[in-house]
Amino acid sequence: MADASGRAGDDRPGALALAVGLAAASAAFTATFRGPRDRFWSRMTWTGVSLGGLALLFSGPARGARIRWWHVPVGLLSAAVLYVTFQVGDRFARRYVPKGDAEIREIYALRTLLPRGEIATRLAAIVGPAEELFWRGLVQAALMRRFGRWKGAAIAAGAYGGVHVTSGNFTLLGAAGVAGAHWCALYAAGAPLGALIVSHVAWDIWIFLVQPTGEVEVVVPA
């Protein structure tokens, strides 16, 4: 039987899976952002492995995710729309958000911690897919089951942004909220997880490694 989102209702995760998942995400993201900076990508990768594993264990939609050929253009288009949104947001944050410019540069400084090819591999093979399987396939699927399509999507977007509080970076928190709302809305509207995985991976690599939204060098006070 299909639910209001058009997905099969009997294989979506329930309240226990949601509670376990959110507790694990809170702990994992705290460890990721609060640990030694030079080990950030190692911790981020293990966060992906752990949360992606939980999604595959508890969520039928996550286990059933496949990337079809038509998911690629749909995902790339979604990533392009989000990138344009971030171009606008970057300009706003650097000009109007206190410490916005410094916080954006701090985020981009993470790309200097490892060779770019290695970062891209981690993002494409683990981090990006795992985030979609977990945040959409487990968290949002469970919330839509309990609260309905759009209310569940809104709560899921808030949860995704909320775990970034531990970063201590207000601009990153806002960016995560916008990106989460984008993917959550698409999933609620019926976009398949395969297309969202393509979108997430393409957007991560493009905005972080290929074409940042603005100046990225860390400014050292004189």
Return d(Cα 101, Cα 218) in angstroms, integer: 10
Evaluate whether residue 8 is within a structural domain: no
Nearest alpha-carbon partner for 204 in 96, 93, 121: 121
Query: What would the pLDDT profile of 38-78 be if each residue is shown by its tens digit?
Result: 999 999 999 999 999 999 999 999 999 999 999 999 999 99
Q: Does the residue 116 lie in any domain? A: yes
Residue 176 within any structural domain of the chain: yes
In a domain, 93, yes or no: yes
DSSP annotation of 213 reads S
Token pair 């709302």 in the structure block, residue? 181
Distance separating alpha carbons of residues 188 and 173, to the nearest angstrom:
22
pLDDT of residue 221: 45
Predicted local distance difference test score (pLDDT) of residue 93: 84
User: The whole model's pTM is what?
Assistant: 0.91
Q: Are 100 and 219 in contact (CB under 8 A)?
A: no
Question: Rounded to an integer, what distance in angstroms lies between the CA atom of residue 69 and that of residue 205?
Answer: 20
Residue 81 included in any domain: yes
Tally the domains of the chain. 1
| Location of structure tokens 């089951």 | 145
134 in a structural domain:
yes
Q: Compute the Cα dihedral for 77, 80, 82, 88 and give only its sign.
A: negative
Domain extent for 124: 15-210
Is residue 138 a part of any domain in this protein? yes
| Nearest alpha carbon to residue 113 among 45, 61, 39 | 39
Residue 215: inside a domain? no
Instruction: Report residues of the chain scoring pLDDT below 70.
Output: 1-10, 214-222
